[in-house]
Structure 1
Amino acid sequence: MRALPELFHNWFAEKGWSIHPHQQQMLDRADAPALLLIAPTGGGKTLAAFLPTLVDLAAHPHDGLHTLYISPLKALAADIKRNLTTPVTEMGLPIRIEDRTGDTPASRKKRQRADPPHILLTTPESLALLTSYEDAPRMFKGLKRVVVDEIHALAESKRGDQLMLALGRLQSLCPQMHRVGLSATVEDPQAIAHLLARHPDPCSILLADPGPAPDISMLTTREAPPWAGGNAAYSIPAVLAEVRKHKTTLIFHNTRAQAEIFFHNLWLANDDSLPIGIHHGSLDRQQRERVEGAMVRGELRAIVCTGSLDLGIDWGDVDLVIQIGAPKNVKRLVQRIGRANHRYNAPSKALLVPANRFEVVECVAALEAVRAGALDGEPRGPGPRDVLCQHILITAAAGPFDAGDLYREVTTVGAYAQLSRAAFDACLEFCATGGYALRAYDQWQRLQQRPDGLWQLRDPRASQKIRMNIGTIQDTDTLKVRLKRNRGGKPLGEIEEGFAASLTPGDTFLIGGQIVRYEGLRDMTVEVSRNAAKKPKVATFMGTKFATSTQLSARVVEMFQQDGWPQLPAHTADWLAQQRRVSQLPQPGRLLIESFPHDGREQTVIYGFAGRNGQQTLGLLLTKRMDEMGLNPMGFVATDYATLIWGLNRVDTPAPLFELDALQDGLETWLAGNAVMKRTFRASATIAGLIQRNTPSARKSGRQATFSSDILYDTLHKYDPDHLLLDITREEALRGLVDFGRIEEMVNRIEGRIDHLVLTRVSPLAAPMFLEMGRVPVKGTAEEKLLADEAARLMDSAGIADITPQQPGNPRWRMGY
């Protein structure tokens, strides 16, 4: 065991602390090539990661950069700087600590490259930018350690892929560099270790004492949850009562829209005028920083928030977390729970608030999973090639490179370990020429090979454009929102461009917890005035919706098999019991389908539990198949667990609808001419560097970028259908927006085992589907048939007897309900 130096031992003693076992282990194994520490929130992960750095710097003065810390959030980097500065200052260590994010002044960034601090705290995007400069070898010379915080969050996105490619570059510059990963919530430690380590090097895993189990339960409310909806307005009195009983409460929501609406309702009911704030990614940065500052000072009793506060920031006196709406993902729930009682060996306290009746079941299933320590997660596929293309351009911006050396470097990254040389060369060719259909255009002739075999930028000035477009985060196109003033008033935040386009003067909407009135658009800025209306005419902008994880969905179906459901509230248990009497409940390994008439239409409900995106895609594909089979579908609506389709004909034999090959063919046809592909193409083309959102002169608006990407997509689709980016786009669409993999998983899971029940009326489990928003009408033969029937009825009423309806039926013209 490595002894703690006296200076550090005395500092611990003065604090009344003793070093935790996992902190000692990190010190003992500081020379490991890669080390993953999994420790509970509040368990001193930050100190554990930096203790070897501080001890080494105290004993051996070091010129330049010693340790690089990488965080998914700018705010987390700032928080770590604040926490790390304390022991350095109190022990009088000659160590310089600085952060570098998008908010860092340009003058400081320039100085950091010339004179880097001992410890630099940054983000994946800023690191990628640093590796793009010609002087990167000098800046990173002597780098000994890289600490990746909240590595589980980065592992789930392209940001993590880009980060690991950047670490591969750093490892080439600094062969002796050691890697450290930190996390509190990891469902598969070996998978994260594989991601962190330099392939094929091993990665050691340290598991700290998990500490006490969280104190987590479902909030008891006087009023039962509604049948549908996501705002949980019924729970406001009970939530306020909990806020009054605690010092600081974080109230998490799954979308920004839900957070805005809940905050508005909470504020209207806040008769005690408790100090309550709101925090999410679309708010103005200064407003977010004011809320964060007030949280640190303990001035707020509650903060309504989204994923912007998911990660490991120490917010002082938070002693309760409330999750509004089903968590959808157990791992995310555990992460959020950890924000309460951010101390070692102190149980986190959390309450779940289901937004509707079905979410009661999902919340109970999530509670059981947390107690069992069963985290969930979807397996990641191979490294995305659009990110690889950007990495190749970043490498070129830093100077000439050898393709073979870069290929070998890329394949040391776990996600790209199986990348073939042919696939790499295809990405290199795309970066060099744009591909077959685009090689005639100068703007995509970006790389050239020199006589000595090295690759370099064709025009050195292109490096500026490459640096301006680094990153994988594809923000929804947004417009700034400001209070109307002569010269521009107070900034409030941002709203989606599409939402702004739907507004007319006088419309009201929520932002930052206040109702504002839309006055007009000026210089691409939405101008608003404050409005005293009690209820906004327009609810708010849209937000990202999470899909329920496969593992949590399976737990819900398993719960359905129980008798009596003693762990469920009486109203929900009675609802499921009625479903069992009237129809049946979904069973593991089988697909439940219900058919029944309602409101003059034939209804079909498919309980696939494939997640919202998967069920939405299933609705699109099944209605297409039904139309081809003459079943005349008219529309559908989807939730996380089911798809409801309505039409003119009853489905008597559903099995043919679920032939996987036919569904796959239908998906290919649908995708070929669908906006989903163009939207996905635009994102991948931007990441890969084909479309540049930022230029030295100006940033393209969302409409300009869409126009450019649509022209490119149509051109490639027509003249170069095998283009690399079209192949990437298809992969991304299947994996992301349409989530066809969940449908494949469902079809393979049921293996043709379908329980089809023909009922005389709506079943209890199907009833909430009729209250769901987001109905999608289907244009097809049903519309033509209704028109023909209506024409026949009119002719008949006019006395023209030789024209009769094609089929007796309801003559009313109705799309939906």
Structure 2
Amino acid sequence: MLPPRFAQWFKDRGWQPHAHQLALLETRGDTLLIAPTGGGKTLAGFLPSLVDLAQGHTGLHTLYVSPLKALSKDIARNLSQPVDEIGLEIRIEDRTGDTSATMRKRQRVDPPQILLTTPESLALLLSYPEAPKIFGTLKRVILDEIHALAESKRGDQLMLGLSRLRALAPDLSVAGLSATVEAPEALAAFMGGARVIEADPGPAPDIAMLPTASPPPWAGGGGRYAARDVMAAIERARLSLIFLNTRAQAELFFQALWEVNDKALPIGLHHGSLAREARHRVEEAMVAGTLRAVVCTGSLDLGLDWGDVDLVLQVGAPKNVKRLVQRIGRANHRYDQPSKARIVAANRFEVVECAAALAAVREGDLDGGGRRWAGPLDVLCQHILLTACAAPFAADALYAEVARAGPYADLPRADFDACLSFCATGGYALRAYDRWQRLLERDGLWQLRDPRTARDLRMNIGTITDTEKLKVRRKARRGGTPLGEVEEGFAASLTQGDTFLIGGQVVRYEGLREMVVEVSDARGREPRIAVFSGLKMATSLELSQRVQRLISTPADWDQLPPATRDWMALQDRISTLPRPDTLTCETFARGDRWYFCLYGFAGRNAHQTLGLLLTHRMEQAGLGPLGFVATDYALLIWSLDPVEDAAALLSPEGLRDGLRDWLGGNAVMKRAFRAIATIAGLIQRNLPGQRKSGRQATFSSDILYDTLRRYDPDHLLLRITRHEAQRGLVDFDRIEEMLAQGHEIVHIRAPHVTPLAAPLLLEHGQVGIRGGQGEARLMEQEAEAMMREAGLE
């Protein structure tokens, strides 16, 4: 099956091609390959291209698309080896935001045979009039880590781009690659229909909890208590990756490791807000084998193969089984050897979550359940505008093309026409404004009203609408060293002399000049302010349900440490265990406050929304609610008077009306609208020679939101916003499911704070604490007092 020169290459390296690699070589049409990390899936994806290219090909032959710019660079580095050793004359280049303007311009005229890119850069290329010439010779598209793309709007954008490519290159074949797929057929449908090929999964991973000298704290998420234990594990390994869930946690844990790094082992830091130069230095050091460990976030989640990693450490509960499996796969990139990983729970409750995640990994039970939802219309609006940038189009032809994209297979023509109308005029309330009159129809073809609009649209391509960030540089007379980025809101909170962490360094804020945060070194000083506000990652619904089943089943507690088992047993004695077939609530007094705790296991977003709705009901009932705190597993509300009738409080009747009333003018909806309006092209952040600050963009979007609510309440973007807010930002569907299942409501009047409720009270107590040794001792004392009150110490 393999041509002789390829068969000889495998033989020279002492390899035998895997069955799934040969399967992709012989399969015609679209495929979805599911193979474990280290199973050679990337080579499997490229092997048909290399065999074909060995016979000669002019122009672009293969397009490789990945979620990360760094992944494209890694693939280019690794692919060059077999190309050189087999003796193939192939040009391989990448095209990402890091590619020079000169190369990007040349690629539009003279593309390489293999081009490595991201969804955003592909959308940009497709928006140029040269797109038919660039992609007319295309034979193959490889979609790496397709599961990661499918979980966000970047995947929808990519599938629309893929549909456009099929129109430009009808003989195109597509290969999707992934190691972690919970519903293969659903992912294959997302690709527009593909044959699923599953490789031998290989040996089970060697994964367990990392033993620690001291038990985790009752609250908090940093894992700093285990820094010395993690350092000991690093010393025993060749190269370790230490994953944390947020950039702020990574910065703080990196600092904690250096405090106990008695042997001065070389340790790096890698996350998305570091300067590109800093990230590249770490990547190069991994390849060169000069590092012993790297503290990182999701920036190294995906299929990167840097260095000889033999240990993965996850600090903090993974929150998602698929994410944990993906991270485990970074260790031992060898098909015949198990990946070794250890988990460090950040606090006592996370011990239970980590145990549940470990059980799911051993059983091969991935969360997610398959995709998904219909393709979002704001992404479709952007696609329509970018299509017009390339050339005039017929509405019927574009609708047929869009409907061939997996996420839009069931798109009603009325929704397509609504998107086209919005792109043309901005909608009923905005049609009088020239700035939103962007398309016109002439001779049956839709085209840009003003060709100069294309430049502005291309500058705002993408579906990622992160918090506005400002660059951080060392203060110098002529352009200091770039360190990374911080969120605009965080920068606005700084005053001269404040210290914070970035890139593992403590720096002093000196001032803001030309939208750049200038800092100086502040070694030895305690950073009083966290570098990123960040977002708390929500636990998946499937993992939350596993946690609940574990808590409610004492027979399974043998997988938990003794202290955790005692904690659960005490909860059962004082109150009750929240069981899957019940909706368990507790009421108890503490000081002059009453507390109502609901164990919903519905996720942080759902509990946050439910807290807003229930406190409104409590206000109407005269109970004097004072506040609440939400976690992935519970909601705690404190008030002046106790909740006596939990069933009435939790009645699903009228809850949706209450949500609608609350959402109408709420900041949650305005934030959702701002993101959607940016993707759909109503708001442009980037303009030639300028960039709106986050505050300016917020002001503009808030005015538009209020205007549309008043004069055009059924505007397309408002409909999209309401739909997405209920599904994602506030998880109202989970709330309705939780309350409408007919579960028995168990309401316990506890004698005092209960073991399961105590960590929520501590989380509430952390709100005003900013760091420092005195405050840390105060927090520790509060935790000890709380646990004594709960009967745990």
> Is TM more than 0.5 here?
yes
Return the letter of the residue paired with 1:569.
P
2:232 aligned to which of 223, 241, 244: 241
2:54 alignment partner, SS class: helix
1:658 shift after superposition: 2.0
1:121 aligned to which of 105, 109, 116: 116
Cα deviation code 1:466-489 (max 9, x no counterpart): 111110011211111111122331
Distance in 1, Cα, partners of 2:767 & 2:428: 38
Question: Corresponding residue for 1:157?
Answer: 152
Question: Corresponding residue for 2:331?
Answer: 340
Contact 2:581–2:743 at 8 Å: present in 1 too?
A: no
1:7 aligned to which of 5, 8, 12: 5
2:477 alignment partner, SS class: coil
Question: Corresponding residue for 2:778?
Answer: none
Question: Corresponding residue for 2:367?
Answer: 376
Matches of residues 47-446 of structure 1 in structure 2 within 5 Å? Answer: 47-59=43-55, 61-197=56-192, 202-377=193-368, 379-446=371-438
Structure 1 residues 420 and 776: alpha-carbon distance in aligned structure 2, compared to 1, 3 A threshold: farther
Cα deviation code 1:721-770 (max 9, x no counterpart): 11111111111212222222221222234x14211001121111111111
Distance in 2, Cα, partners of 1:301 & 1:709: 47
Contact 1:635–1:776 at 8 Å: present in 2 too?
A: no
Cα deviation code 1:690-738 (max 9, x no counterpart): 0011111211111111111111111111111111111111112122222
1:533 shift after superposition: 3.4
1:524 aligns with 2:515: yes
Distance in 2, Cα, partners of 1:774 & 1:56: 63
2:651 aligned to which of 651, 659, 664: 659
Matches of residues 637-652 of structure 1 in structure 2 within 5 Å? Answer: 637-652=629-644
1:532 shift after superposition: 2.5
Question: Corresponding residue for 2:786?
Answer: none
1:535 shift after superposition: 2.2
2:691 alignment partner, SS class: coil
2:654 alignment partner, SS class: helix
Question: Corresponding residue for 1:591?
Answer: 583
Structure 1 residues 539 and 107: alpha-carbon distance in aligned structure 2, compared to 1, 3 A threshold: closer
1:67 shift after superposition: 0.9
Question: Corresponding residue for 2:787?
Answer: none
Distance in 2, Cα, partners of 1:114 & 1:157: 32
Question: Corresponding residue for 2:34?
Answer: 38
Distance in 2, Cα, partners of 1:534 & 1:212: 47
1:292 alignment partner, SS class: helix
Contact 1:655–1:752 at 8 Å: present in 2 too?
A: no
Cα deviation code 1:248-277 (max 9, x no counterpart): 110000111111111111111111111111
Contact 1:637–1:775 at 8 Å: present in 2 too?
A: no
Distance in 2, Cα, partners of 1:661 & 1:87: 64
Cα deviation code 1:559-616 (max 9, x no counterpart): 1232251110000000000000101111012111000101211110011111111111
Question: Corresponding residue for 2:776?
Answer: none
1:116 shift after superposition: 1.2
Return the letter of the residue paired with 1:39.
A
Distance in 2, Cα, partners of 1:773 & 1:278: 30
Distance in 2, Cα, partners of 1:279 & 1:743: 37
> Greater CA deviation, 752-761 or 395-404?
752-761
Distance in 2, Cα, partners of 1:710 & 1:78: 39
Question: Corresponding residue for 2:505?
Answer: 514
Distance in 1, Cα, partners of 2:646 & 2:654: 13
1:776 shift after superposition: 9.0
Distance in 2, Cα, partners of 1:259 & 1:388: 36
Distance in 2, Cα, partners of 1:500 & 1:680: 22
Distance in 1, Cα, partners of 2:262 & 2:17: 46
Distance in 2, Cα, partners of 1:155 & 1:437: 34
Distance in 1, Cα, partners of 2:757 & 2:693: 43
Cα deviation code 1:124-148 (max 9, x no counterpart): 0010011101111111112111100
2:558 alignment partner, SS class: coil
1:462 shift after superposition: 0.6
Question: Corresponding residue for 2:26?
Answer: 28
2:565 aligned to which of 552, 568, 573: 573
After TM superposition, the score normalised by the length of structure 2 is 0.95
1:775 shift after superposition: 8.2
- Paired residues in the alignment total 766
> Greater CA deviation, 82-91 or 154-163?
82-91
Return the letter of the residue paired with 1:40.
P
1:25 shift after superposition: 0.7
Larger C-alpha radius of gyration, 1 or 2? 1
CA RMSD between the two structures? 1.3
1:691 aligned to which of 683, 686, 689: 683
Matches of residues 599-614 of structure 1 in structure 2 within 5 Å? Answer: 599-614=591-606
Return the letter of the residue paired with 2:107.
Q
> Greater CA deviation, 97-106 or 206-215?
97-106
1:329 shift after superposition: 0.3
1:18 aligned to which of 13, 16, 23: 16
1:756 aligned to which of 747, 756, 759: 747
% same residue: 66
1:536 aligns with 2:527: yes
> Greater CA deviation, 624-633 or 303-312?
624-633
Contact 2:393–2:447 at 8 Å: present in 1 too?
A: yes
1:546 shift after superposition: 1.5
1:318 alignment partner, SS class: coil
1:757 alignment partner, SS class: strand
Distance in 1, Cα, partners of 2:519 & 2:612: 38
Return the letter of the residue paired with 1:185.
T
2:219 alignment partner, SS class: coil
Structure 1 residues 661 and 412: alpha-carbon distance in aligned structure 2, compared to 1, 3 A threshold: farther
- Structure 2: stretches of 5+ with no match in the other structure: 769-793
1:456 alignment partner, SS class: strand
1:534 shift after superposition: 4.4
Contact 1:635–1:775 at 8 Å: present in 2 too?
A: no
Distance in 1, Cα, partners of 2:93 & 2:520: 40
